[in-house]
Structure 1
Amino acid sequence: MAVFKLPDLGEGLTEAEIVAWHVAVGDTVAVDQTVVEVETAKASVEVPVPFAGRVATLHGAAGEVLAVGSPLITVEEAANFVEPGVVTPEGSGNVLIGYGTPAAQARRRRGRARQAPVAPSTSDRVRVVSPLVRQLARKSGVDLRTLSGTGTGGIVSRADVERAIARAAEKPARKHIQDTEADQRIPLRGLRKTVADKLTRSRREIPEATVWVDVDATELLRLRAALNADPAAPKISLLALLARFAVAGLQRFPELNSRLEGDEIVLSKAINLGFAAQTDRGLVVPVVRDAHTHSVEELSAALAELTGQARAGGLAPADLTGGTFTLNNYGVFGVDGSAAIINHPEVAILGVGRIIDRPWIVDGEVTARKITELTLAFDHRVCDGGVAGGFLRFIANCVENPLGLLRSL
């Protein structure tokens, strides 16, 4: 018997939740075949097994949390489990797909693994590919075991869950709710637990202060429209323009691109720009590394790519760490301002509210303009209001006169 333990998933992670098993007891597995999908505090990860043979024991069910180093799966290794003519592939030595393994090698391993015969599973486990589908079902109170999957091979898809939600909504609501009905209890773990821990630490350790200013974004919107007028040119997002302004501001006020280590303020040479992205798993902060080396077009492409990966649940742990400053566009939620919490161990976060029509005085006349609010929360241990105010005023000037300032960036 060969016992495979939950491997070190990197980035200081100590545990993972089992999302779905891809094998059952009695199934035959090949070397490097993906056997389980787990969810850490940072990402969903497919875990392959380094042994070939027959599955003897699964050490945990979907929804259980295992510590790194705990038994994950036991495989009974035996030569007679390999069908005649089937060559057992050699292991690469890499345990996790996506952690230091080139994509081409991963594809070759998966292709070889599919050659191994797999005994039909007699398990009644739910076949779901995406952890986002499970998340949707949990949030909506849908029991996946009651659904018949319409996807390939009977896999339960997002559409299956959404139809179940719609059917439940059509049922008449009960007129009376019994007082004895139990409250719903949701375990605080995974991404939500990591976010909670970081925000709690930030509030506990950082004496933050906040400055804000209303700015006229009319010219910024005109500039973006002009940049995107060419249908053949890459599209530039407003977030990319704001990110470029933030990078320029951090180069002028490096105190805000730093971290505290003991009695020292460490000024970061690189600007690794984090940005808040809302997903089905919750709020995540992907990081554009070396943002100071990117053009506006490159920033726009990087932001779009990371946002797509975040919403699809495809971000690697490395994509969510190492930020030195965070940009938060809470205007997408239809709000004007926010007293944001700094993303520890960073020392500042810039927030941007919604852009709306408001009366504004231009050349002595009241006229309708596109107005937004910029908010900067900063660690008062690192700098005083002069630095924070100077940075925010610089960003405001960029928003109000973007063309003139872009020439100098």
Structure 2
Amino acid sequence: MFRKCIKVMILMFLFISMIIPVSAQEVMKSQQGKNLNIQTPKFAYVGSYTAKERDGHGKGIEVYRIDSTSGEWKSIQSVDGFNPAFLALDHEGHFLYAAHGDGTVVSAFAIDQESGQLTLLNQQATGGKNSVHLTVDPSGRFLLVANNTSGNITVLPINIDGSLADFSDLVDLPGKMGPNRAEQASSHPHQVSFDPSGHFVLVSDVGLDKIFVYSLDQIRGKLIANDPPSMATRSGAGPRHFAFHPTKSYQYVINGLDSTITTYQFDDKGGKLQPIQVMPTLSTAFVGNSAASEIMIAPSGKFLYGANRGPSNIGVFSIDQVTGTLTPIEWVSTQGKGPRFFALDPLGQNLYAANQNSDNIVIFRINSLKGTLIPTGQVIKTGSPTCIVFR
């Protein structure tokens, strides 16, 4: 009897060991295929500076089709426009919105779902000047715009057809100017974005050395100051752009003026920030002048990337998954000049460095295990690139 029980148990073990891995593999393959269908981009939209005052060589917004096999970019449309400094998609990828550097309006475009091409819907006044960043709220009903020169944030209702209505709110950012009289003569908001929960709106202000926190009244389209309403950064830091960890409660702010990255613990219940680390974006071997520009985090949450315009490189940092703190890994040349912006594709497989001053976008492959950057040799020639979004 005992031997019979042993045989039955062995047979059951063999059966389970054969069936479960196969089932798990099939689930994984199915999920991977689903993710690829959702996340692999078919089109890239590139904004560029066009004005002589910005030494702009761009055409406006360039639309590229991305070959799914080779990754090659093919230009399929050029849309004339004044200094499209930043671009944002709605959450379903049906509409694209453009902020115009040194301008006073934002533009709304419809996206043809098959061809990827753009059709202008309308332009709407922001009530401010020099719009440098914009984002769509989680409900898809409002567009928020950061006006850098006038020091305010605009809220624009989005109509059902994707066009923009007159602004429902215009909020000036209060505070004391930073010590850098050349760059901090007044409020200069440079990014407006929602936290991952969608409950809070955060604004990084280069001129006031502050990060403001609001909530959005989605009935009236009004911004409501949080309590406390802002977080002071290190004096003269110039907080420019920021990114949130995809799964943990950390926010990372790249400070443009002193070339550092500040790690914050973010309270997504109260909207409060607690600084826990300041890390230089530059290698100790670099002794020249520089200004930091863009920051991104890999979808895995394991690596962070920050751009430096002085040495024209990307700093690569590992993220401690327990403490949230950063450790430098390497600095990689962008193979161009003045990386104002860079982007990661949605799968986190490639990094695209937009070199504003050398009129090119250079593509790097990302080592998923180490986070390091490997040049692919692929370069897209385009004038004065300022922003890239994928669809």
TM-score scaled by structure 2? Answer: 0.21
Q: Which has the higher strand share?
A: 2
Relative to total residues, which structure has the larger helix share, 1 or 2? 1
Of structures 1 and 2, the larger Rg is shown by 1
Normalised to the residue count of structure 1, the TM-score between the two structures is 0.20
1 or 2 for the larger relative contact order (CA 8 Å, sep ≥6)? 1
